[in-house]
Amino acid sequence: MFKIVKREEMAEGTVILNEIEAPAIARKAKPGQFVILKANEDGERIPLTMAETDKAKGTITIIYMVVGKSTALFRDLKVGDSYQDVIGPLGKPTHLEKKGKVICIGGGTGVAVLHPITRAMKEIGNEVTCIIGARTKDLLILEKQMKEASHDLRVCTDDGSYGHHGFVTEVMKEVLEQGDIKEVVAIGPVPMMAAVCRITREYDVPTLVSLNPIMVDGTGMCGGCRVSVGGETKFACVDGPEFDGHKVDFDELWLRLQAYLEDEKKCHKEYCNLHKVQ
C-alpha cells in the first residue's frame, strides 16, 4: 500500500495533487518517467508522469485531472489513505544535455509533466524560456514552480483572463523569431503538441514531445500504447513516452485516442444505467 501524505486541489478542484510514499520509486525515478497507479480493486490502472520526486522523504508527486470513473476514485482518496498499487518508474527518462537556449512548453496538466524536465534543463546550464497555458486562469497550474524552474516564464490563456490572450504557439513563434533556439520540449494535449511541431519544423528546431496513448500493462506486451514514429511502430510505455515530435504521426494518435474515448463514453453510460446512477 502507498500512503498519501499530501493532497491539494487545484484548478477549481478538477485537478488534484497527491504526494505519495513510494521510497523505492523515488530513489530511482528521473525526469520524464511515469508510474501506473490503481486506487483499489474496483479501479483501473492509470499511467501518470511524476511531477516531483523527493529521495530524502521517499515520496513521489502526481497531478491528475478528474475525467472518469477511475480518476474519480483517486479524488476520493484523502491524506492517510493509500493507493493499492503504484508501479514504476516506467519509460525512458528525458535525455538531458546542455545545448544553450531551449523552450519548454506545457498545456493543461502537461505542465506537471514538464516541471521536472524544465528544472533539470536549467540546472545543467541551459537558458530556459518556459511557456505554459490553460483555457482560463482558474485552470492554470504550477505557475510559481515553473517560474522558479526557468529563466523566463510566459503565461497564456485561451480566453485572455490572464497573461497572453491566445495560444502557447503564438508566444513560441515570438521566441523562435529571436533566433538561436536549440531545442523545444512540448507536453500537453495532442493538438497542442502537433501544432508546436508544425511550427518548429519550419524553423528547423528539434522538438521533443511526451505522448499520452492508452496504456494497460506498461511493459510493451499489450500493444495498446503503440504509436507511429518515423514510419515505425513504437510502444510509448517502453520506447517513450518521449519522442522526436517531427517524426510522430499525430493524426493517427488522435484518431486512436478518439476511438478509445467513444468506447469509454459507451461503457460509462452502460455502467450508469446498470447501477442507476446519473
Domain 95-210 has CATH 3.40.50.80: yes
Supply the pLDDT for residue 41: 87
C-alpha grid cell, residue 208: 521533443
The owner of cell 522523504 is 57
Beta strands in 115-188 (DSSP E): 127-134, 152-157, 164-165, 181-187
Cβ atoms 92, 242 nearer than 8 A: yes
Percent of the chain with pLDDT over 90: 73
Domain with CATH 3.40.50.80 in the chain: 95-210
Supply the mean pLDDT for the chain: 89
- The 10s digit of each residue's pLDDT in 10-32 is 887 778 999 999 999 999 999 99
Residues present in the chain in total: 278
How far the first Cα of the chain sits from its last, in Å, is: 31
- The 10s digit of each residue's pLDDT in 44-71 is 888 999 999 999 999 999 999 888 788 8
Is 0.95 surpassed by the pTM of this model? Answer: no
Which superfamily does CATH assign the domain made up of 2-90 to?
A: Translation factors (2.40.30.10)
Calculate the alpha carbon distances from 86 to 31, 59, 203, 221, 222 in Å.
17, 12, 41, 19, 19
Domain with CATH 2.40.30.10 in the chain: 2-90
Instruction: Kindly report which listed range (156-170, 215-229, 253-267) carries the lowest average pLDDT score.
Output: 253-267
